[in-house]
Amino acid sequence: MRLLILLSCAFTLGWLLSWMYYDTSTDIANPNPTNSTILPHTSIAASQSTSHENTLRQPNKANQDIKPASVFDVTLEHLRRGEFDEVMAKYPDIQSKLSESDAIKHKKIIIGHVQLLSKLGQSTIAHALLTLYLKHEYRDVLSLLLMAKLYQEAGNEMEAIEVLFQAKSYAYTPELIKQTVKAIRSAVKNYNMQLLIRKDYIAQLDLYRRLTELEPEYALHFIGLAETYLSLGNVFDARKALDLTLHDSSVLDKRNDIISRIEVNMEPNRHYAAEVSLQALGNQFLVDVLLNNSQNAVLLLDTGASLSIISTELLAVLGIPYQHTFKTAWFSTAGGRIKAPIIKLNSIAIDEAVVENIEAGVIGEFDNKKFDGLLGMNFLRHFEFFIDQNEHKLQLSPR
C-alpha cells in the first residue's frame, strides 16, 4: 500500500515538473506573444494606410495646374536679378501649362522688362534678354520691331533694317503689315540721310544693293541705287539700275531726272583725267594700272568691290613697298569668304588719274592668272567715271 502511495506521489510530482518546464520554455521563446503577433501586423497596415492617404493628398505634380500669380512673381524676380537664362530655360514648359490668356500675360512680363531696361538706358542688357526671347518667339512681329528699335538706339542701322524685313515676313494682318512697312521706310530714310550728310557713298551703295535684294518689287530702291552710282561717278551701273525701273510709271519723273544728269556728265568735249582701253574678260574688264608710281599691274575693274585688292604674289615677286595698317577685312572670293590683311600703297594711277595713300586688301593668288587683283570703289569714287562697253573704254573725270 505504501508502495502504491509513493508511486502515485512520484507520478504527480513528475507531471507538475513537466508542466512547469513546458510553460517556462514557452515564455522564454515568446515573452510577449500578443505584441509579437499583433503589433507588427498593425504597424504595416498603418504604414500602408498612411502612404495611401499621402498619395491621395499629393496628386502627381505633372498633372497639377500652375498658379499663374506665383509664376508671374517668380519670373519677375528672376528678371530683376538679371537671371535671363533661368527665365528662358523654363519658358517653354511654363507656356505649355498656362492658359492662353495667362501665357500672353507671361510674355508681356518679359517684353515689359525689355522696355523698362531700354528706358533706363540699358539697351545692351535689353538686347541680350530680347535675343533669348526671340529664340523661342522668332515670329513675334511686335518683339522684332522692338529689336529693330534697340539696334537703332545703338547706331546699328543696317541690322535694324534687316530685322524689320524679318518682321515684315511674319506680319499676318493688314495692320501689322502696314506697321512694318512704315517702319522700314522710316529706317531707310533716316539711315540714307545720315550717309548723305557724311558723304559715305560706299555704305550707301551697300544699303541700296541690299534693299534691292530684300524688296526687288519696290522701284524706289533701284532709283536710290542709281543715284548712289551717279554720286560715285559710275554712269554705267547707274543706267543698269534705271533699266530695272521701266515697269513702274510712278518713278518715271525721277528716272528721267537721273538720265538727264547722266547726259550732262557725258558732254563730248569734257576733259578726262584718263581715257584708257579695257580688255574684256567675259562680262567684265581688265585695266592697266601703275602701283607706287613704279610697277605695272593688271586689275579687274570691279564696281561692286568697296576696297581694291592685290595678290600676295604681286607683293612678293615684284617687291612693291607698302605700309602695314594692322587692320583686316572680310572678302568674298570664288572659294568663299576669307579674312585678309589691309595694307596702304603710296599710290594707284591710271594715266593722269592718281589716288595716293590708298588702302588695298591682300589675298592669295587669284584663280585667274590674267589679273593681279581688283580695282575697287575706294579708287573709282574719287572720279566721275564712265565704262563704255561698246568701245571697251574707261573714262575718268576729276570730281
Find the CATH number of the domain harbouring 330: 2.40.70.10
* Reported confidence tier of residue 168, pLDDT bands at 50, 70, 90: very high
Shared-domain flag, residues 232 and 299: no
- Compare 333 and 294 and report the one with higher pLDDT: 294
Task: Tell me the CA end-to-end span of the chain in Å, nearest whole number.
Answer: 163
Shared-domain flag, residues 242 and 352: no
Here the cell at position 314 is: 604681286
Identify whether 326 is part of a domain.
yes
Identify whether 158 is part of a domain.
no
Shared-domain flag, residues 327 and 292: yes
Interval 250-271: pLDDT, tens: 999 999 999 988 776 655 555 5
- Compare 388 and 132 and report the one with higher pLDDT: 132
Counted residue by residue, the chain has a size of: 399
Shared-domain flag, residues 256 and 296: no
Question: Which of 41-50, 97-106, 172-181 has the weakest average pLDDT?
Answer: 41-50
* Reported confidence tier of residue 314, pLDDT bands at 50, 70, 90: confident
278: three-class secondary structure by DSSP: coil
Shared-domain flag, residues 286 and 378: yes
Residue 346 has pLDDT above 70, yes or no: yes
| DSSP states along 110-171 | HHHHHHHHHHTT-HHHHHHHHHHHHHH-TT-HHHHHHHHHHHHHTT-HHHHHHHHHHHHHH-
Mean pLDDT across the stretch 21-26?
40
Find the CATH number of the domain harbouring 257: 1.25.40
* Reported confidence tier of residue 113, pLDDT bands at 50, 70, 90: very high
Identify whether 103 is part of a domain.
no
Name the average pLDDT for the chain: 81
Q: How many domains does the chain have?
A: 2
Identify whether 260 is part of a domain.
yes
Most confident range (mean pLDDT) of 255-259, 386-390, 393-397 is 255-259
Pairing mode, strands 295-301 and 284-291: antiparallel
Identify whether 353 is part of a domain.
yes
Give the per-residue pLDDT at 135.
95
- Compare 223 and 43 and report the one with higher pLDDT: 223
Identify whether 184 is part of a domain.
no
Mean pLDDT across the stretch 285-291?
92
Q: What is the identity of the amino acid at 104?
A: I
Q: Name the residue range of residue 233's domain.
A: 199-265
Prediction pTM value = 0.60
Question: Which of 52-61, 125-134, 240-249, 314-323 has the weakest average pLDDT?
Answer: 52-61
Picking from 248, 265, 282, the residue at the C-terminal end of a domain is 265
Could you tell me if residue 299 is left (phi over 0), alpha (psi between -120 and 50 degrees) or otherwise beta? beta
Most confident range (mean pLDDT) of 163-172, 223-232, 373-382 is 163-172
Q: Angle 336-367-276 (CA atoms, 0-180°, nearest 5)? A: 110
Question: Which of 49-63, 242-256, 278-292 has the weakest average pLDDT?
Answer: 49-63
Are 147 and 159 spatial neighbours (Cβ–Cβ below 8 Å)? no
User: CB neighbours (10 Å) of residue 153?
Assistant: 15
Give the per-residue pLDDT at 335.
65
In whole angstroms, give the CA distance from residue 128 to residue 139: 18
